Protein backbone atom coordinates (compact mmCIF):
# COMPACT_ATOMS: atom_id res chain seq x y z
CA UNK A 1 0.00 0.00 0.00
CA UNK A 2 1.42 3.38 -1.02
CA UNK A 3 1.10 6.02 1.72
CA UNK A 4 1.46 9.71 0.92
CA UNK A 5 0.49 13.07 2.37
CA UNK A 6 -0.71 16.21 0.61
CA UNK A 7 -1.99 19.58 1.86
CA UNK A 8 -5.56 19.36 3.06
CA UNK A 9 -8.28 20.74 0.78
CA UNK A 10 -11.73 22.13 1.55
CA UNK A 11 -13.09 19.25 -0.53
CA UNK A 12 -11.75 16.86 2.17
CA UNK A 13 -14.32 18.17 4.67
CA UNK A 14 -16.93 15.45 4.10
CA UNK A 15 -14.39 12.65 4.37
CA UNK A 16 -12.81 14.12 7.51
CA UNK A 17 -16.28 14.55 9.05
CA UNK A 18 -16.97 10.87 8.34
CA UNK A 19 -13.70 9.78 9.98
CA UNK A 20 -13.85 12.11 12.98
CA UNK A 21 -17.51 11.32 13.72
CA UNK A 22 -16.56 7.73 14.57
CA UNK A 23 -17.52 7.10 18.22
CA UNK A 24 -14.42 4.87 18.59
CA UNK A 25 -12.15 7.94 18.61
CA UNK A 26 -11.90 7.78 22.38
CA UNK A 27 -8.64 9.70 22.63
CA UNK A 28 -9.07 12.36 19.96
CA UNK A 29 -10.58 15.60 21.27
CA UNK A 30 -12.41 17.68 18.71
CA UNK A 31 -15.16 20.21 19.20
CA UNK A 32 -18.61 19.02 18.24
CA UNK A 33 -17.90 18.31 14.60
CA UNK A 34 -20.16 19.47 11.79
CA UNK A 35 -19.58 19.85 8.09
CA UNK A 36 -19.68 23.65 8.33
CA UNK A 37 -17.09 23.67 11.15
CA UNK A 38 -14.84 21.33 9.18
CA UNK A 39 -15.10 23.51 6.06
CA UNK A 40 -14.34 26.61 8.16
CA UNK A 41 -11.27 24.87 9.68
CA UNK A 42 -9.99 23.74 6.27
CA UNK A 43 -10.43 27.23 4.78
CA UNK A 44 -7.98 28.55 7.39
CA UNK A 45 -5.22 26.12 6.39
CA UNK A 46 -3.55 28.36 3.82
CA UNK A 47 -3.47 31.34 6.18
CA UNK A 48 -2.14 29.14 8.99
CA UNK A 49 0.65 27.83 6.73
CA UNK A 50 1.60 31.36 5.66
CA UNK A 51 1.75 32.45 9.32
CA UNK A 52 3.79 29.30 10.11
CA UNK A 53 1.21 28.40 12.74
CA UNK A 54 0.27 24.94 11.51
CA UNK A 55 0.79 22.80 8.43
CA UNK A 56 -2.01 20.27 7.86
CA UNK A 57 -2.05 17.34 5.45
CA UNK A 58 -4.40 14.62 4.31
CA UNK A 59 -3.12 11.06 4.67
CA UNK A 60 -3.67 9.00 1.52
CA UNK A 61 -3.44 5.23 1.10
CA UNK A 62 -3.30 4.24 -2.56
CA UNK A 63 -4.67 7.71 -3.40
CA UNK A 64 -7.68 7.52 -1.05
CA UNK A 65 -8.02 9.96 1.87
CA UNK A 66 -7.84 7.83 5.03
CA UNK A 67 -6.90 10.42 7.66
CA UNK A 68 -5.19 13.64 8.49
CA UNK A 69 -2.03 14.86 10.15
CA UNK A 70 -0.30 18.11 10.87
CA UNK A 71 2.43 20.03 12.61
CA UNK A 72 1.65 22.93 14.95
CA UNK A 73 4.57 25.30 15.38
CA UNK A 74 5.31 26.51 18.90
CA UNK A 75 4.83 30.26 18.53
CA UNK A 76 7.23 31.04 21.38
CA UNK A 77 9.87 28.54 20.25
CA UNK A 78 9.48 28.28 16.45
CA UNK A 79 12.13 25.56 16.20
CA UNK A 80 9.70 23.11 17.90
CA UNK A 81 6.69 21.49 16.24
CA UNK A 82 3.98 19.19 17.57
CA UNK A 83 2.67 16.42 15.36
CA UNK A 84 -0.93 15.24 15.51
CA UNK A 85 -2.76 12.62 13.45
CA UNK A 86 -5.99 10.69 12.99
CA UNK A 87 -6.86 7.70 10.82
CA UNK A 88 -10.06 6.03 9.61
CA UNK A 89 -10.75 3.01 11.82
CA UNK A 90 -10.96 0.77 8.73
CA UNK A 91 -7.20 1.39 8.24
CA UNK A 92 -5.97 0.98 11.83
CA UNK A 93 -3.14 -1.49 12.44
CA UNK A 94 -1.60 -1.35 8.96
CA UNK A 95 1.37 0.93 9.68
CA UNK A 96 -0.16 3.83 7.72
CA UNK A 97 0.13 6.34 10.55
CA UNK A 98 3.80 5.47 11.16
CA UNK A 99 4.56 6.10 7.47
CA UNK A 100 2.57 9.36 7.52
CA UNK A 101 4.43 10.55 10.64
CA UNK A 102 7.76 9.88 8.94
CA UNK A 103 6.65 11.86 5.86
CA UNK A 104 5.40 14.70 8.05
CA UNK A 105 8.62 14.64 10.04
CA UNK A 106 10.61 15.21 6.82
CA UNK A 107 8.46 18.30 6.18
CA UNK A 108 9.14 19.52 9.72
CA UNK A 109 12.88 18.94 9.79
CA UNK A 110 13.79 19.52 6.13
CA UNK A 111 11.34 22.15 4.90
CA UNK A 112 10.27 23.99 8.05
CA UNK A 113 13.70 23.90 9.71
CA UNK A 114 12.51 22.45 13.02
CA UNK A 115 15.10 21.05 15.40
CA UNK A 116 12.63 19.24 17.69
CA UNK A 117 9.29 17.53 17.05
CA UNK A 118 7.01 16.31 19.82
CA UNK A 119 3.95 14.06 19.95
CA UNK A 120 1.56 14.29 22.88
CA UNK A 121 -1.02 11.61 23.65
CA UNK A 122 -3.41 10.52 26.37
CA UNK A 123 -1.71 8.03 28.70
CA UNK A 124 -4.27 5.37 27.83
CA UNK A 125 -3.83 5.65 24.07
CA UNK A 126 -1.63 2.61 23.47
CA UNK A 127 -1.92 2.72 19.67
CA UNK A 128 -0.61 6.28 19.55
CA UNK A 129 2.24 5.32 21.87
CA UNK A 130 3.16 2.52 19.44
CA UNK A 131 3.04 4.95 16.48
CA UNK A 132 5.42 7.32 18.28
CA UNK A 133 7.82 4.54 19.30
CA UNK A 134 7.83 2.88 15.85
CA UNK A 135 8.51 6.31 14.32
CA UNK A 136 11.64 6.66 16.47
CA UNK A 137 10.28 9.07 19.09
CA UNK A 138 11.41 8.65 22.70
CA UNK A 139 9.11 9.09 25.68
CA UNK A 140 10.48 12.01 27.70
CA UNK A 141 7.87 12.36 30.38
CA UNK A 142 4.38 12.72 31.74
CA UNK A 143 2.51 16.02 31.53
CA UNK A 144 -0.09 16.30 34.28
CA UNK A 145 -3.57 17.59 33.37
CA UNK A 146 -2.52 18.85 29.95
CA UNK A 147 -4.99 17.20 27.51
CA UNK A 148 -8.71 17.86 27.16
CA UNK A 149 -10.69 14.98 28.59
CA UNK A 150 -12.57 13.20 25.79
CA UNK A 151 -15.50 12.34 28.07
CA UNK A 152 -15.75 15.47 30.23
CA UNK A 153 -14.79 18.36 27.94
CA UNK A 154 -14.14 20.81 30.79
CA UNK A 155 -11.61 18.54 32.47
CA UNK A 156 -8.02 17.70 31.65
CA UNK A 157 -6.13 14.40 31.59
CA UNK A 158 -2.48 13.44 31.84
CA UNK A 159 -0.53 12.79 28.65
CA UNK A 160 2.80 11.39 27.59
CA UNK A 161 5.36 13.52 25.79
CA UNK A 162 7.39 11.81 23.05
CA UNK A 163 10.06 13.71 21.12
CA UNK A 164 12.65 13.43 18.38
CA UNK A 165 15.55 15.75 17.63
CA UNK A 166 16.89 16.53 14.18
Model pTM score: 0.90
Host domain of residue 62:
3-118
* pLDDT tens-digit readout, 109-141: 999 999 999 999 988 889 999 999 999 999 999
* pLDDT tens-digit readout, 75-96: 999 999 999 999 999 999 999 9
Domain of 62, CATH number, reads 3.40.630.30
User: How many structural domains does the chain have?
Assistant: 1
Do strands 116-122 and 156-165 pair parallel, antiparallel, or not at all (unpaired)? Answer: antiparallel
Q: Is residue 129 part of a domain?
A: no
- Indicate if the pLDDT at residue 1 is higher than 80: yes
- Indicate if the pLDDT at residue 28 is higher than 60: no
CB 42 within 8 A of CB 9: yes
Q: Is residue 102 part of a domain?
A: yes
- pLDDT given at position 83: 96
The rounded Cα 105 to chain-centroid distance in angstroms is: 11
- pLDDT given at position 27: 56
Q: How confident is residue 21, by pLDDT bands cut at 50, 70 and 90? A: confident
CB 79 within 8 A of CB 31: no
Q: Is residue 27 part of a domain?
A: yes
Q: Is residue 152 part of a domain?
A: no
* pLDDT tens-digit readout, 41-88: 999 999 999 999 999 999 999 999 999 999 999 999 999 999 999 999
Q: Is residue 50 part of a domain?
A: yes
Q: Is residue 138 part of a domain?
A: no
- Segments in the chain forming alpha helices (H): 13-20, 35-43, 45-50, 96-106, 126-134
Q: Is residue 58 part of a domain?
A: yes
- Indicate if the pLDDT at residue 152 is higher than 80: no
Amino acid sequence: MKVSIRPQKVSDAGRFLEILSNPNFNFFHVQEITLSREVKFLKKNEENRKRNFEHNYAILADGVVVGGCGIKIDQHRPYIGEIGYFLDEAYWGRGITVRAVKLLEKVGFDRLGLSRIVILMNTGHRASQRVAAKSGYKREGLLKKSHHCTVHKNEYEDCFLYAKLK
